[in-house]
Amino acid sequence: EVQLVESGGGLVQPGGSLRLSCAASRFTFSSYWMSWVRQAPGKGLEWVANIKQDGSEKYYVDSVKGRFTISRDNAKNSLYLQMNSLRAEDTAVYYCARGGLTAASSGWFDYWGQGTLVTVSS
Amino acid sequence: EIVMTQSPATLSVSPGERATLSCRASQSVSSNLAWYQQKPGQAPRLLIYGASTRATGIPARFSGSGSGTEFTLTISSLQSEDFAVYYCQQYNNWPPNWTFGQGTKVEIK
């Protein structure tokens, strides 16, 4: 069974930085688009960013552009989200999610991690 | 941004009954729509993609329909494990700016 395990969440002050990681296993990580999706406490889901298999294409929701950076290391089967200039409204559980093999199939997410909580507060 | 609106916010259904959930897009998303189920404290689970294709391992009692701006998720006979929050999501635009609905909570009547 596909496994995605996030880590790196925690409490950070406004304006601070945090790097999330997602360790992937039991599938060929380098073959898939990958995304980050977040969920504020008690709220709905928000797609945050995605990345192509070789890292050559990266896309972001407008609210995080210029502050967050998605990356991947296929040799380590890992996905990352570098979050800078954090704001209170970035407080959420962040999920790593697997997309598809092609751009056309990258938009739905068939496997999700358990999530890691990021809390931005002073 | 494409706004996804789900209705109703809460649906009270008895076990064994049919549940019909609606999702409306603010502009056409063709058939680029997915449905997810989320239980408390768990990650979302993909049910449907392409508006009507069941994901691997999803029971046949779950079905999706619609295209353009109007979509429906139907659960033909609710089981106890189906009480959860359901989200629709569009993935029509490229570059991506994918959006989710606010969710419909299916609760026991």
Residues A13-26, buried b or exposed e (16+ Cβ, 10 A)? eeeeebebbbbbee
Shortest CA gap B73–chain A (Å): 16
Tell me the per-residue pLDDT of A37-84, one tens digit each, with 9 for 90 and over.
999 999 999 999 999 999 999 999 999 999 999 999 999 999 999 999
Q: Do the chains contact at B94 and A47, CB–CB below 8 Å?
A: no
Q: What is the mean pLDDT of chain A?
A: 97
Would you state the pLDDT for residue A93?
98
Please state the length of chain B: 109
Can you tell me the distance from the alpha carbon of A72 to that of A88, in angstroms, rounded to the nearest whole number?
A: 26
Query: B23 is written with which tokens?
Result: 């999702």
B89 pLDDT band, cuts 50/70/90, is: very high
The Cα of A42 is separated from the nearest Cα of chain B by a number of Å equal to 10
Average pLDDT for A8-26: 98
High-pLDDT (> 90) share of chain B, % = 97
Residue B65 confidence class, pLDDT cut points 50, 70, 90: very high
The whole-number average pLDDT for the span B25-47 is 98
pLDDT at B14: 95
Spatial CA neighbour of B34 closest among A67, A106, A29? A106
The verdict on A27 touching B (C-beta cutoff 8 Å) is: no
Q: Tell me whether residues B97 and A112 touch, CB distance under 8 A.
A: no
